[in-house]
Amino acid sequence: MISHDLKIYNTLTRQTELFEPLHKGHVGMYVCGPTVYSNAHLGNARTFMSFDILFRYLTHLGYKVRYVRNITDAGHLESDADEGEDKISKKAKLEQLEPMEIVQRYTIDFHNMMQLFNALPPSIEPTATGHIIEQIEMTKKIIANGYAYEANGSVYFDVEKFAAQHNYTALTGRNLEDLMNGTRELGGQDEKRGRLDFALWIKANPEHIMRWPSPWGEGFPGWHLECSAMSSKYLGDQFDIHGGGMDLAPTHHTNEIAQNIACSHKTPARYWIHTNMLTVNGQKMSKSLGNSFLPHELFTGNHPLLEKGYSPMTVRFFVLQAHYRSTLDFSNEALQAAEKGFARLMNAMKLLDGLKTSATSTTNIQALKDKVYAAMNDDLNTPIALSHLFEGVRVINSVSDGKETLTELDKALLIQLMRTFVFDVLGLKEENAVNTDKIDGLMSMILNVRNEAKAKKDFATSDLIREKLKEIGFEIKDGKEGTTYTLSN
Ligand code: AMP
Ligand code: ZN
């Protein structure tokens, strides 16, 4: 273990707490995954990238992490109040496809997107439809424990009864009465006993296509239930971390906690971690508001809000520049700045191996390393960690220019620090890696021609080559060890 003092903000206690896993050396983490009825947008991607960084950092600290992130392929209705159609069924009808064709298409799309953003796959990726039996069993248990009731083929969670014995709003700290007053009154036809009650199992009307047999007739599970059933199946009744976007805390996660307590008398996760939203002009990016970008629109620049295309690593760098609990506002300027910053970082990474060493160091690399860890341990403060890594970039460039020095030992420490954090923890990677060998080959050929010109004292040609390369974006530098190049922006 490298460091034990990771502190993380826990929505449940509203405090930044020292992270201590239930079982030494192991971490169980559940993150609510996507509903696969349409292409995931950049906002969704931000949330999943944030948890990817947590997964990577915990792994780096030496924990054996079991990371479960589900795929919602049934039960997610259009409205949180158990109303509207199932999002996947609706899309299937619209496109005249089987619901599972929709699920397959958008699951593949989601995986492709996550791969482009260099997010590691979770350890287990369970689906709601693959766990209908577990959800029925959980519903039976909650009924048996007295916290749910059947009404006309559906099963509802009795929130008022639960709230009389437990703190139903523990996660958000909201006042129950205010919540009640803010919720629509039940109509005469309503099967629910209380206005905060939510469905565990929903009776399928004749035209509903996604349906399964149950003790209460043919139906389908409520959305909140799948996460309770799958998290406890793979991580136990109690586990370490539960995460998702901030918008999930008031309803989805609040109801998940209630279900798990009603079933096993235990609060499922100890640390509840919520990521803030990606916004566009201050408004949450969402499909329904029409302000969302799909990854391919972002990469090609083919969107009215985009001035040009940005690469996946530029976007990942942009995400890292904000703390996960702050909103991150999209803008062309911010992405252009991220593009420059990322290129500067990658150029420095290329110089690392070739840095000359000296008898003394002008910078304290160990202190720099401590600062990077301190930032990450402070509730995963990636913007601060990045700013320290950029101090590393400054040192690399200065040593490369001969303005500062590093000992052999410090050079090794700097290489290890930069590679570990930039590549392994923050998950950035060299782009166009397949082409770099070819570019290197081409550049070495051009530089040889230039050197021959110089040897013949044909400085007009050698200067022309330098100038032309500069125009394209290649900066060349003549040093004692020969000529090197960097890609400028
Ligand atoms: P969904 O597929 O709608 O269930 O959403 C998947 C995840 O993306 C959830 O954790 C949401 O909280 C999150 N999410 C949705 N919109 C945004 C946004 N604009 N910024 C960040 N995360 C978001
Ligand atoms: Zn969930």
The verdict on 269 and 187 lying in the same domain is yes
**Which ligand lies nearest the alpha carbon of 259?**
2
Would you state the pLDDT for residue 289?
A: 85
C-beta 389 within 6 A of ligand 1: no
Same domain flag for 258 and 308:
no
What is residue 2's three-state secondary structure? coil
The predicted structure's pLDDT at residue 261: 98
Domain boundary among 376, 402, 425: 425
Q: Is residue 28 part of a domain?
A: yes
Report the C-alpha gap between 159 and 262 in whole angstroms: 10
pLDDT band for position 134 (50/70/90)? very high
CATH label of the domain that carries residue 352: 1.20.120.640
**How many Å lie between the centroid of ligand 1 and the Cα of residue 381?**
21
Residue nearest to atom 17 of ligand 1 (CA): 43
Q: How far is the CA of 47 from the centre of ligand 2 (A)?
A: 13
The alpha carbon of 47 and the centre of ligand 1 are apart by a number of angstroms equal to 6
Q: Are strands 239-245 and 26-31 parallel, antiparallel or unpaired?
A: parallel
Q: If pLDDT is split at 50, 70 and 90, which confidence band does 2 have?
A: low
Q: Which of 11, 42, 44, 251 to mutate to test ligand 1, by most ligand atoms within 8 A of the CB atom?
A: 44
- Reading the block at residue 304, the tokens are 């009215």
Q: Which helix (H) or strand (E) holds 201?
A: strand 198-203
Distance 275 CA to ligand 2 centre (A): 14
Same domain, 190 and 301: no
Write the pLDDT tens digit of every residue in 244-270: 999 999 999 999 999 999 999 999 999
Whether 235 and 335 share a structural domain: no
Q: Answer whether residue 334 shows pLDDT above 60.
A: yes
223 and 188 in a single domain? The answer is: yes
Instruction: Decide if 297 contacts 280 (C-beta within 8 A).
Output: no
Question: In the predicted model, what is the mean pLDDT of residues 434-461?
Answer: 82
Quick one: pLDDT at residue 435? 54
Determine the pLDDT at residue 437: 62
pLDDT, mean over the chain: 93
Check whether residue 124 and residue 216 sit in a common domain: yes
Range of the domain at 252: 7-275
Sequence-ordered list of residues with C-beta below 8 angstroms from that of 11, at least 6 positions apart, any chain: 171, 172, 249, 272, 273, 274
Q: What pLDDT digit, counting tens, does each position of 339-355 carry?
A: 999 999 999 999 999 99
How confident is the model at residue 469, as a pLDDT? Answer: 87
How many angstroms is it from 222 CA to the middle of ligand 2? Answer: 11
One domain for residues 266 and 295: no
Q: Are residues 229 and 317 in the same domain?
A: no
Kindly report, residue by residue over 98-123, the tens digit of the pLDDT.
Answer: 889 999 999 999 999 999 999 999 99
The reported pLDDT for the residue numbered 366 is 97
> Per-residue pLDDT tens for 287-316?
888 889 888 888 888 888 888 999 999 999
- Of the candidates 101, 104, 105, 74, which has an alpha carbon nearest to the alpha carbon of residue 88? 74
What does the angle CA 35 – CA 36 – CA 41 come to, to the nearest 5 degrees? 85
Q: What is the atom index within ligand 1 of the atom nearest the CA of 244?
A: 10
CATH number, domain containing residue 146: 3.40.50.620
Same-domain pairing of 210 and 300: no
Q: Which atom of ligand 1 is nearest to the CA of 276?
A: 21
As a 3-state breakdown, the chain gives helix, strand, coil percent values, each rounded to 5, of: 45, 15, 35
Query: Considering the domain boundaries, does residue 283 fall inside one?
Result: no
- Asked if 302 and 267 sit in the same domain, the reply is no
Q: What total number of domains does the chain contain?
A: 3
Range scoring the smallest mean pLDDT among 79-83, 127-131, 366-370, 414-418: 79-83
Which of 216, 241, 275 represents a domain boundary (last residue)?
A: 275
pLDDT of residue 394: 98
Residues 371 and 466 in one domain: no
pLDDT tens for 373-395 read: 999 999 999 999 999 999 999 99
Q: Looking at the DSSP assignment, which residues form a beta bridge with residue 219?
A: 203, 212
Atom index in ligand 1 nearest the CA of residue 33 equals 6
